[in-house]
Amino acid sequence: MSRSSNKIDDLNLIQGPIAKKAMTRINENGNVVGTIIVNCEGFPETTTLDSLTAATYSTHMRNLSHYASNALKEIDVLDELVVLRLVSKKTEAVVAPDHEFHLIVVMRRT
């Protein structure tokens, strides 16, 4: 818990208090396993998960959201990806892409 709080404190310095507040709110949800903030270079900036899991999720979810974004543009040039949700038998992962950062949330299946 203290580890997770420290990581969120880092976020306060990097992205300001609004981002910190939002991340704290998400992480307080009982079904959330962890969150990752991926920078524009594809590396995890802040995470409450262990670094190996965070790196794996970062790479794959970022590639997936890139592919999805391009696919959407092919269907409608004016369209833009908002959220990509991946539901598996064991977990649920959500990626919200942005120009500077990607937010990834990993959840338990309810």
Give the interface with its own copies as residue ranges (CB under 8 A).
53, 56-57, 60-61, 63-64, 67-68, 71-72, 74-76, 78-91
Q: Nearer Cβ to its own copies, position 20 or 102?
A: 102
* Minimum CB–partner distance for residue 59 and its own copies (Å): 8
Q: How far apart are CA 92 and CA 1, in angstroms?
A: 21
- C-beta of residue 22 within 8 angstroms of C-beta of residue 28: no
How crowded is residue 78: how many other Cβ atoms within 10 Å of its Cβ? 6
Q: Nearer Cβ to its own copies, position 28 or 74?
A: 74
Q: Nearer Cβ to its own copies, position 11 or 49?
A: 49
* Minimum CB–partner distance for residue 2 and its own copies (Å): 26
3-state secondary structure of 4: helix
Q: How far apart are CA 101 and CA 23, in angstroms?
A: 13
* Minimum CB–partner distance for residue 48 and its own copies (Å): 16
